[in-house]
């Protein structure tokens, strides 16, 4: 048995914040004690809106008010854990005060994902004022974080695109199965919710056309390279879907390595992982199969030469790529079942089900 963990969400009015609220409201070990948005939300002396006013699907589920965010107001809730579903600069400004008060911070922005502070001005447009924390942050990909996540004070929750790439690629790099002298080429497609809830013409559903963006310069590329240990060439694409990511990854096998080696490596790595599903040969992932789940589906194959590896992975960008993964990391950090409140999880080994 666990005491209920007093929990706050900052950035609750966004897509990810609402997803977090929905998941945490059903968590048996969580007491949701505060929801916060931007300071502008409380301007003019008007009463704070309820989250269920902003997201009617949460009526009767999460009827808490959304208040203006500042460290003093957040800490007045006496939280054990705070989820920051906020812009990068906001997370970077809020986290130090929360950490100093002894609160566990799970940051869903990129403010603490990169270990090299020099990368922030180029990729995120701001100079990091708390670079000492970059060495303290635990990169919160639960399947690969190891024991560090169990004692972390600051969890840097992975980005959505990087999650879809790191899960299939890093074990193969670590095992020497991928040729690291050749680049790993990643083409990913994402639904428009990845752009956030802010109004922008290019994100309107009727304006979206399949097209690449951030070519050779996307801010998630250094995160992928850092966490896979490979040189990554990444091209994202926006598609007319509300949610989901599908990534197609190309790599060269190291000399003497085979598709069977790659499959065995992933099967072994994720044998006990409840949310990673290695699909049978000939079956490929789809966004529909992972939508609204915390699952990552992975498939792989080679060309006729047996040397060029093609990997496909699919996740829901708002769940495994954001809110669900953050709750999964929270569960590990506070000693809950890893799958608590996350719904669908792989419980029966594939060989037992066949």
Contacts of 300 (CB under 8 A, 6+ apart): 168, 259, 262, 263, 266, 309, 310, 311, 312
- Separation of alpha carbons 148 and 332, rounded Å: 10
- Separation of alpha carbons 228 and 108, rounded Å: 19
- Separation of alpha carbons 320 and 307, rounded Å: 30
- Separation of alpha carbons 284 and 278, rounded Å: 10
Question: For the CA atoms of 164, 168, 171, 174, what is the dihedral angle to 10 degrees?
Answer: -80
From 77, 157, 160, 296, active-site residue: 160
Beta carbons of 319 and 285 less than 8 angstroms apart = no
- Separation of alpha carbons 354 and 349, rounded Å: 9
Residue given tokens 């997201």 in the structure block: 55
Active site annotation includes 157: no
Contacts of 76 (CB under 8 A, 6+ apart): none
Record the tokens describing residue 173, joined without a space.
């790099």
Residue given tokens 């579903």 in the structure block: 85
Supply the residues annotated as catalytic: 160
């Amino acid at each position: 048995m666990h005491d209920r963990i007093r929990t706050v969400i900052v950035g609750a009015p966004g897509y990810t914040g609402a997803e977090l609220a929905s998941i945490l409201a059903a968590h048996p070990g969580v007491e949701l004690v505060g929801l916060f948005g931007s300071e502008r939300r409380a301007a003019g002396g008007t009463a704070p809106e309820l989250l269920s006013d902003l997201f009617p699907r949460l009526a009767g589920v999460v009827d808490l008010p959304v208040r203006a965010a500042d460290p003093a107001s957040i800490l007045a809730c006496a939280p054990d854990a705070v989820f920051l579903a906020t812009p990068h600069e906001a997370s970077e400004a809020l986290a130090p005060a929360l950490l100093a008060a002894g609160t566990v911070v799970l940051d869903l922005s990129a403010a603490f994902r990169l270990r090299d502070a020099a990368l922030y001005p180029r990729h995120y447009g701001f100079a990091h004022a708390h670079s000492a924390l970059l060495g303290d942050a635990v990169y919160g990909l639960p399947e690969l974080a190891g024991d560090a996540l169990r004692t972390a004070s600051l969890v840097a929750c992975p980005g959505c695109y990087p999650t879809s790439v790191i899960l299939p690629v890093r074990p193969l790099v670590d095992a020497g199965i991928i040729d690291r002298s050749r680049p790993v080429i990643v083409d990913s497609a994402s639904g428009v919710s990845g752009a956030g809830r802010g109004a922008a013409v290019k994100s309107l559903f009727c304006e979206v056309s399949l097209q690449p963006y951030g070519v050779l310069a996307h801010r998630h590329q250094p995160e992928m390279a850092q966490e896979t240990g490979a040189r990554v060439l990444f091209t994202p694409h926006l598609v007319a879907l509300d949610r989901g990511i599908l990534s197609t990854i190309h790599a060269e096998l190291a000399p003497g390595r085979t598709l069977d080696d790659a499959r065995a490596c992933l099967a072994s790595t994720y044998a006990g992982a409840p949310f990673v599903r290695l699909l049978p040969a000939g079956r490929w992932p789809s966004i529909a199969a992972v939508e609204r789940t915390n699952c990552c589906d992975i498939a792989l194959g080679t060309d006729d030469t047996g040397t060029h590896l093609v990997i496909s992975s699919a996740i829901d960008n708002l769940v495994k790529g954001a809110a669900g993964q953050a709750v999964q990391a929270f569960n590990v950090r506070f000693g809950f079942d890893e799958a608590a409140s996350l719904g669908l999880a792989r419980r029966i080994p594939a060989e037992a089900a066949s």
